[in-house]
Amino acid sequence: MILYKYILKSHIGPFLFAFATVVFLFLFQFIYKTIDQLVGKGLSIWLIVQLISYNMAWIVTLAVPMAVLVATLMAFGNLASTNELTIIKAGGISLRRMMIPVILCSIILFYLMVKFNNEVLPEANHQARVLLGDISRTKPTFILEPGKFSDDIGGAKILVRKIDPVSNKLEDIYIYDYSNPQVRNIFTAKSGDIGFTADLNNIVMNLENGEIHQLNVINPSQKYKKVKFNKHRITLSSEGFGLQQSGEGSFRGDRELSADSMVSIRDSLIAQVNDMSGKLSSASSELALELAKIPYRNLTIRRTGVTSDSLGQSLNQANSNIISLYDNVIMKKTQRQGIVLNSRSLLSQVSRYEVEIYKKYSIPFACIVFVLIGAPLGYRVKKGGFGISAGFSLLFFLIYWASLIGGEKLADRGLLSPLLGMWIADIVLGIFGLYLMFKSS
C-alpha cells in the first residue's frame, strides 16, 4: 500500500506540469489561429476572454490524455533511472503490479472525462457558438475575412477584398453561388454592405455597380448570361453559423449535445431511413410498371404537325400517348432519385452523430491506453526528463490523433463504420501497450 501511494505521488507533479504545458500550447495555437478574426473587429476584451474560456473545454479534453502519457513516462522513467524499479522488482513485485494503482486512477479519470465530455463540453461548445452568433448579429462582417474565401454561407462562397467592421461596408466583392445544382451564378460588385434579416434566418447583401454571370451546369450548350446592375440584393441562408436567437431553445449541433441526446436523434434518423427504404421500394415498383406500359423502348418520339387526314390524326394521338408515358417514367425516375438522395443524406447524418457519440468515450479511454504505453516505455528508456517524455508523448499522440482524424473522415464518407473509426486508435495502441507491458515484465 505504501508502495502504491509512492508511485501515485510520483505522478502528481509531472501530470500537473504536463497538463499546464499542453493546455498552454493548445491555447496559444487557438489564439494564433483566431487572432485575425478577433482583433480589429471592435470586440471588447471581455468578449474575447469569454470566447477563449468557452474553448478551454475542448482543450482540456485533449490535454488530459496527453498529460497522462507524459506523467507516466516521467514517473516510471525517474524510478528506473534511480534504480528504484530494479530494487522493487528484486523484492518480487513485477511491473504489472506496480502499474495497478496508476491503471485504477486512469479508469477513474476515464469516468470523469466521460462525464465532462457529456455535460461540460457540449454546453461550452454551444455557448461559444451562441456568443459568436451574438457577435455576428451586431457585427455581420465577423464571418468574413478580407482577401480570403469564406466558408460555405447558404450555398455560396464569398470573397471580399476590403471590409469596414464599423460600418459593415464591403469593397471588391465576389460571390460564387452554387445553391442551385443546375445553375452557377457569379456575382461581382465594386461595393456593398452586409446584414441580417430580423428573424436572423438569412444574410442580406446589398451590392452596387456589379455584374451577374450565369452558366447552366446541366446543359452547358445554353447561352452564357451576363447582366450588369447598379444595385442588387442577395439573400443567403445563415444556417450553420450560430445565428439563431440565444437561449435554451436555440439549435444545437452534434458537438453541442450529450451522447444520450445524439443517440435519440440517431434512432429517429434511422427510423426515417427505414421509412425511405419502403418508399424507395414502392417508387421502384411504380417505375417498373410505367416502363412496362411503353410499347417500344427504343422508339424516338417526335412531335408532328396536325394533318388533315384521319391517319395523320391517329399517328399524332399515338405519339401523344407515348410521350405521356415517357413523361410519367421521367417523373417516377425523378421521384426515385430524390428518395435515394434523401436516404444518403440521412445516412450521412447518422454516421456523423455516431462518430461524435463514440468520440465522447474513445478520447477519454486514451487515458488508460497511454498508461499501458507510458509505464513500460518509461521503464525501458530509463530517463525521466521532461524533454524525453514530451518527445515520446508527442510521437504517440500524433499517431493517435492522426488515426482518430483519419477514422473520422473515413466514417463520415461511409468508408468505415463509425465504431471502428473512432476506436481503432485505442485498439491498436492498446495492443501495443499490452505487448510492451508483458515484454517488460
What is the 3-class SS of 291-345, one letter each residue? HHHCCCCCCCCCCCCCCCCHHHHHHHHHHHHHHHHHHHHHHHHHHHHHHHHHHHH
Same domain, residue pair 86 and 165: no
Q: How confident is the model at residue 307 (pLDDT cuts 50, 70, 90)?
A: very low
| End residue of a domain, out of 331, 350, 369 | 350
Residue 299 is assigned to a structural domain of this protein: yes
CB within 8 Å of 90: residues ≥ 6 apart = none
pLDDT at 58: 93
pLDDT at 297: 46
Q: How confident is the model at residue 137 (pLDDT cuts 50, 70, 90)?
A: low
Q: How confident is the model at residue 303 (pLDDT cuts 50, 70, 90)?
A: very low
pLDDT at 280: 60
Give the Cα-Cα-Cα angle 14, 18, 23 (nearest 5 degrees): 155
pLDDT at 7: 87
Cell of 82: 534511480
> pLDDT: is 138 or 357 the higher one?
357
Helix (H) or strand (E) holding 272: helix 259-293
Instruction: Render 346-388 in DSSP notation, one character per residue.
Output: HHHHHHHHHHHHHHHHHHHHHHHHHHHHHHHHHHHH----HHH
CA dihedral 248, 250, 251, 255 (to 10 degrees): -40
Same domain, residue pair 163 and 129: no
High-pLDDT (> 90) share of the chain, %:
28
> pLDDT: is 273 or 438 the higher one?
438
Q: Which residue has the cell 530509463?
A: 382
pLDDT at 409: 87
Residue 148 is assigned to a structural domain of this protein: no
Residue 180 is assigned to a structural domain of this protein: yes
Question: Given the DSSP bridges, would you call strands 183-196 and 156-164 parallel, antiparallel or unpaired?
Answer: unpaired
Instruction: Check if the beta carbon of residue 392 is closer than 8 Å to that of residue 381.
Output: yes
pLDDT at 123: 93
Q: What are the backbone dihedrals phi and psi of residue 164, each rounded to the nearest 5 degrees, phi first?
A: -105, 105
pLDDT at 53: 92
Examine the pLDDT at 24 and tell me if it is beyond 80: yes
Range of lowest pLDDT (19-33, 200-214, 312-326): 312-326
> pLDDT: is 366 or 216 the higher one?
366
**Looking at residues 379-396, what average pLDDT do you find?**
74
CB within 8 Å of 195: residues ≥ 6 apart = 140, 168, 203, 204
Q: How many Cα neighbours within 13 Å face the side chain of 306?
A: 1
Same domain, residue pair 233 and 177: yes
Same domain, residue pair 258 and 344: yes
Residue 424 is assigned to a structural domain of this protein: yes
Same domain, residue pair 169 and 109: no
The three-class DSSP label of residue 39 is coil
Distance CA 295, CA 301 (A): 12
Residue 146 is assigned to a structural domain of this protein: no
Same domain, residue pair 132 and 171: no
Residue 128 is assigned to a structural domain of this protein: yes
Instruction: Check if the beta carbon of residue 213 is closer than 8 Å to that of residue 226.
Output: yes
Tally of domains within the chain: 3
> pLDDT: is 418 or 149 the higher one?
418
Q: Of 167, 174, 183, give the one whose Cα is nearest residue 149.
A: 174
Cell of 17: 506540469
The three-class DSSP label of residue 153 is coil
Number of other residues whose CB lies within 10 A of the CB of residue 35: 11
Residue 224 sits in which domain range?
Answer: 154-237
Examine the pLDDT at 370 and tell me if it is beyond 60: yes
Cell of 77: 522513467
Same domain, residue pair 345 and 363: no
Range of lowest pLDDT (34-48, 106-120, 194-208): 34-48
**Looking at residues 169-181, what average pLDDT do you find?**
84
Residue 242 is assigned to a structural domain of this protein: no
Same domain, residue pair 368 and 426: yes
pLDDT at 86: 76
| End residue of a domain, out of 205, 237, 269 | 237
Examine the pLDDT at 60 and tell me if it is beyond 90: yes
pLDDT at 334: 64
Examine the pLDDT at 201 and tell me if it is beyond 80: no
| End residue of a domain, out of 237, 266, 292 | 237
Q: How many Cα neighbours within 13 Å face the side chain of 228?
A: 2
Same domain, residue pair 218 and 291: no
Same domain, residue pair 161 and 114: no
- Using one digit for the tens of pLDDT, what is the confidence trace for 1-16? 788 888 889 899 999 9
High-pLDDT (> 70) share of the chain, %:
75
> pLDDT: is 303 or 187 the higher one?
187
Same domain, residue pair 106 and 158: no
pLDDT at 279: 62
Q: Of 128, 123, 158, 119, give the one whose Cα is nearest residue 141.
A: 158
Residue 416 is assigned to a structural domain of this protein: yes
Which amino acid appears at position 307 of this protein?
Answer: T
The three-class DSSP label of residue 441 is coil
Q: How many Cα neighbours within 13 Å face the side chain of 351?
A: 20
Same domain, residue pair 275 and 300: yes
- Using one digit for the tens of pLDDT, what is the confidence trace for 251-297? 787 888 999 999 998 888 888 877 766 666 665 565 555 555 555 44
Question: Given the DSSP bridges, would you call strands 183-196 and 169-177 parallel, antiparallel or unpaired?
Answer: antiparallel
45-78 residues labelled b (16+ CB within 10 A) or e (exposed): eeebebbbebbbbbbbbbbbbbbbbbbbbbbbbb
Question: What average pLDDT is seen over the chain?
Answer: 80
Q: Of 69, 183, 43, 61, give the one whose Cα is nearest residue 113.
A: 61
> pLDDT: is 32 or 244 the higher one?
32
CB within 8 Å of 141: residues ≥ 6 apart = 41, 163, 164, 165, 168, 170, 194
